[in-house]
Amino acid sequence: MSDRRNAVMRTVAVAGPVGVAAGAALLHGVLANTSAALVLVLVVVAVGVAGDRTAGVLAALSAAAAFDFFLTEPYHRFAILDRVDVETALLLLAIGVAVTEIAQWGRRQQARAQRREGYLTGVATAARLAADGTPDHDLVATVERMITDVLDLDGCRFDPTHARRTDRPVLGRDGTVVWHGRVVDVERDGLPTMDTIELPAGRRGTNGRFLLVASSGVRRPDLESRLVAVTLAEQVDAPVRAAEPDR
């Protein structure tokens, strides 16, 4: 979600419930507080679904405050004397926060499903290129690009030589990163940024290696993403013409 859209939704989150409550106050003689609260709930739900977490929480707070200020006695003061009105205000706040969290959870699930679909498409594409006998440089270039995208790297380059440096971190077939004999907690500490990471190519890991660079910032790809990168690297399973080795 863009910064501009976030700013707009947060403005709506604050102003929307205030406007609705002010309008409901004008109809106080014909509109019960419970009905006005339901309208405020609709506003909060709409903001919670359309905006980010901050917008949803702001809408919930604004709705509770506006309900107190415009719709409960004493009017136009932040004070509630009636127990039922207190409960209504608290319910507005609780519903707003709950709806926001549910909406955020749904977005995360949707994003995860889209990533998985993209991963499957990428692996299928690489496997098809390998099976079709695509020229080595085309297959390697495709896999390099896909690994870079999956792990959010600065760069990825294939090195067909077999000589590997033992002091470098290695992304293994099980998705773990080992550096100096120690397993790196990638999801906590991120990928190593001080050195190039080696990812063995081919199903036996003997057909060269992909050199991964993540030096410009901390990247924390999850295990699923790392396993996808390993699967992509396995598609380069035939010896590739030698190139200038990494230095």
- pLDDT digit string, tens, across residues 176-204: 999 988 999 999 999 998 889 999 988 77
Closest to 243 measured CA to CA, from 211, 214, 196: 211
- How much is the pLDDT for 117? 77
- How much is the pLDDT for 230? 92
Confidence of residue 45 (pLDDT cuts 50, 70, 90): confident
Q: Are 93 and 64 in contact (CB under 8 A)?
A: yes
Those residues with Cβ within 8 angstroms of residue 19's Cβ, 6 or more apart along the chain or in another chain: none
44: how many CB neighbours lie within 10 A of its CB? 31
**Alpha helix positions (H), 27-135:** 33-50, 53-71, 83-131
- How much is the pLDDT for 134? 61
In the block, tokens 């679909």 appear at 117
pLDDT over 90, % of the chain: 27
Average pLDDT over residues 66-90: 82
12: how many CB neighbours lie within 10 A of its CB? 20
Average pLDDT over residues 22-30: 86
pLDDT at 115 over 90: no
114: how many CB neighbours lie within 10 A of its CB? 10
Of 30-44, 49-63, 83-97, 119-133, the range with the lowest mean pLDDT is 119-133
- How much is the pLDDT for 212? 94
Average pLDDT over residues 12-31: 89
pLDDT at 108 over 60: yes
Confidence of residue 239 (pLDDT cuts 50, 70, 90): low
Confidence of residue 164 (pLDDT cuts 50, 70, 90): confident
pLDDT at 244 over 50: no
Q: Where are the domains of the chain?
A: 3-109, 135-234
